[in-house]
Amino acid sequence: MSIRLYFFLVPLLWTPQVRVPGPGGEGSISIGQPALKQAICSAGTSSAVNMTGTNFFVGSVVGGGGTGLPGDSSGNTWASLTGGGSGNYTQLFYVQNPTVTAAQTFNPGSTGGTTFCVLAFSNMATSGVYEAGTVNNNFTASGGTTATPGSTTPLSSVNVIVTAIGNSSSGVAASSIGSGFTLPAAAIYPGNSNWGNAIAYSIQTGTASQNPIWTMNGIALYGWQATIASFVGQ
């Protein structure tokens, strides 16, 4: 009597997790999770940047006495979050599922030294990307070399927390930020004859509250405002 042995190949179900460096070498992130793709700051219309592969823009507008809506060369509509303060404002704007191109420009939508910093991400939620009620702001007229935006508590299991700061002192810009946030070099506008502007982010899982500390070049701040909000990743 012969005995036949049968071997069955069962496919192994697994999801590859590839680690890739972020822009400028800021850490790494798994494919399928939110990832920063571009960062840019400008006063007036920016230089052209390649925004293909992104599905979420968030930006900070900093200036004095009020704001118009920022814009971009693809004609996207930017939604605004609460911001502003007496004599100075730092306000977050965002676009969910933007139209993107390989040579996209951005503008702050206001004049008078207004600046605009933009972060562009991939793998963000395609609906309900802003977590309602998570925006916070903190304004002061003068004093100190550090600032906080106030606490925010994300609502989703995967989120991108974004914070920005603006300052009316000529030449003053954020030099660092704590609490696990990343401040890309391209996301700092140093001020000079325009308003200082910087925007940073943290990609996290879970709902831990965040209130990061900004440090401003060892110079006492004058008329700064920081803001923060949380957005949903995939």
Give residue 15's pLDDT.
33
Res. 11 pLDDT band, cuts 50 70 90: very low
As for how many domains the chain has, the answer is: 1
Q: Is residue 226 part of a domain?
A: yes
Read off the pLDDT of each residue in 22-34 and give the average, rounded to a whole number.
51
Read off the pLDDT of each residue in 137-147 and give the average, rounded to a whole number.
75
Q: Is residue 5 part of a domain?
A: no
User: pLDDT, tens digit, for every residue of 52-69?
Assistant: 999 999 999 988 655 578
Give residue 58's pLDDT.
98
CA distance 233 to 148: 24
Q: Is residue 45 part of a domain?
A: yes
What type of residue sits at position 130? Y
Using the 8-state DSSP alphabet, how is residue 133 labeled? T
Give residue 17's pLDDT.
33
User: pLDDT, tens digit, for every residue of 170-195?
Assistant: 556 667 898 799 999 888 887 667 88
Give residue 7's pLDDT.
34
* pLDDT tops 90 at residue 114: no
Give residue 60's pLDDT.
93
Which of 116, 133, 122, 125 lies closest to 186, judged by CA? 116
Which of 88, 95, 101 lies closest to 69, judged by CA? 95
Give residue 6's pLDDT.
41
> Using an 8 Å Cβ cutoff, are 103 and 124 in contact?
no
pLDDT greater at residue 154 or residue 169 = 154
Q: Is residue 115 part of a domain?
A: yes
Q: Is residue 112 part of a domain?
A: yes
Using the 8-state DSSP alphabet, how is residue 102 labeled? S
Q: Is residue 11 part of a domain?
A: no
Residues spanned by the domain of 160? 33-232
